[in-house]
């Protein structure tokens, strides 16, 4: 597993009648990819991070909120893979939990190749529908995040906003000519020990990845079903970050049962406080 750091949006921080002077806290988060060396299928990559040019692609206002604060050459996808002793050219398949820019920015590395990109049918449809109709634009999210009328008004009168603020999906990260492979239904055993489970909520087509390893047992990579550990342990919902709250609750129930059944260790989408407890490249689990 490898990572780069993102200083993301505040968690709730909502004022109340008795406490209007709340402290606006920020929290360091991580972007995670995982490399799987499978005995028969070869190298499989799970998600790709935001990509080297994430700040430029997401645009200035959004990058001020979801700011990338720690990025070196080491975090670049091909350098991170090289740390494991492998080469990005030897990747045989990519599995995407979902296609938001902070997970899919590195897909550009696979343009011009025939590497299959596995993603749930509903995620693929939703991502391209969203791009075509501009129905989930970053501008709308920014308006929700700006805390005062004055800030919102200032953004509304800024012509630049349309030019510099992108949506949660970005066309540059989702080229049509990738070898897209859609997964249908609720569960797919992609290869021995590699299972995908459809977990809608954060997005309509999000999938979690279940890995069954010989020595370290079961693992579940949750993508953004859970951004941080509190989403899971305290059943803390995602607010405006979930596109369908009821679906999120149903997926949460499915994952709790899966973890109870398998004893799986969980790797949350962006949780730095739990991520640091796991081995990171070049170390690995078997
Ligand atoms: Zn994310």
User: How remote is the CA of residue 254 from the centroid of ligand 1, in Å?
Assistant: 20
Q: How far is the CA of 104 from the centre of ligand 1 (A)?
A: 9
Domain containing residue 43 = 2-8+26-275
d(CA 274, ligand 1 centre) in Å: 16
What is the Å distance from ligand 1's center to 17 Cα? 32
pLDDT, position 156 = 55
Residue with tokens 């995620």: 123
Q: Does residue 280 lie within any of the structural domains? A: no
Burial 148-166 (b: 16+ CB within 10 A, else e): eeeeeeebeeeeebeebbb
* Number of structural domains the chain divides into: 1
How much distance in Å is there from the Cα of 224 to the middle of ligand 1?
5
Residue 114 belongs to some domain of the structure? yes
94 lies in a domain?
yes
Q: Phi and psi at residue 79, in whole multiples of 5°? A: -70, -40
Q: Where are the alpha helices (DSSP H) in the chain?
A: 54-58, 60-65, 77-82, 101-104, 121-133, 138-145, 149-156, 161-164, 229-233, 245-262, 272-275
The tokens describing 195, both together, are 């299972």
**Ligand 1 centre from 19 Cα, in Å?**
30
Is residue 192 included in any domain, yes or no?
A: yes
In a domain, 286, yes or no: no
Distance 115 CA to ligand 1 centre (A): 23
CATH of the domain at 232: 3.60.15.10
- Residue 154's pLDDT band, with cuts at 50, 70 and 90, is low
Residue 150: what pLDDT?
A: 62
Q: What crossing angle do the helices spanning 149-156 and 138-145 adopt, rounded to 10°?
A: 150
Mean pLDDT of 266-275: 96
Residues with C-beta atoms within 5 A of ion ligand 1: 102, 224
Residue 235 lies in a domain: yes
pLDDT per residue as tens digits for the range 60-79? 777 888 889 899 999 999 99
Q: Whole-prediction pTM value?
A: 0.88
Has residue 135 been placed in a domain?
A: yes
Q: What are 77-95's pLDDT values in tens digits?
A: 999 999 999 999 999 999 9
pLDDT value at 143 more than 80: no
Instruction: Let me know if residue 14 belongs to a domain.
Output: no
């Amino acid at each position: 597993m490898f990572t780069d750091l993102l200083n993301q949006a505040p968690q709730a921080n909502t004022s109340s009648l008795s406490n209007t002077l709340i402290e606006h806290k920020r929290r360091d988060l991580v972007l995670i990819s995982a490399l799987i060396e499978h005995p028969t299928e070869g190298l499989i990559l799970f998600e790709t991070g935001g990509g080297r040019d994430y700040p430029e692609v997401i645009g200035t206002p959004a990058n001020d909120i979801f700011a990338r604060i720690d990025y070196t050459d080491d975090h670049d996808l091909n350098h991170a893979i090289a740390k494991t002793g492998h080469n990005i050219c030897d990747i045989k398949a990519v599995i995407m939990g979902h296609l938001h820019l902070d997970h899919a920015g590195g897909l550009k590395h696979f343009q011009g190749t025939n590497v299959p990109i596995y993603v749930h049918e509903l995620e693929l449809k939703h991502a391209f529908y969203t791009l075509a109709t501009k129905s989930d634009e970053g501008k709308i999210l920014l308006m929700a995040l700006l805390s005062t009328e004055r800030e919102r008004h200032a953004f509304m009168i800024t012509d630049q906003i349309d030019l510099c603020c992108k949506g949660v999906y970005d066309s540059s990260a989702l080229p049509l000519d990738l070898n897209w492979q859609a997964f249908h239904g609720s569960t797919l055993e992609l290869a021995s020990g590699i299972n995908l489970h459809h977990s809608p909520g954060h997005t309509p087509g999000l999938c979690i990845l279940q890995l069954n390893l010989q020595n370290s047992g079961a693992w579940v990579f949750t993508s953004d079903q859970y951004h941080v550990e509190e989403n899971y342990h305290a059943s803390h919902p995602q607010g405006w970050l979930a596109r369908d709250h009821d679906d999120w609750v149903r997926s949460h129930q499915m994952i709790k049962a899966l973890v109870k059944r398998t004893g799986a260790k969980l790797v949350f989408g962006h949780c730095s406080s739990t991520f640091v407890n796991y081995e990171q490249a070049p170390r690995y689990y078997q």
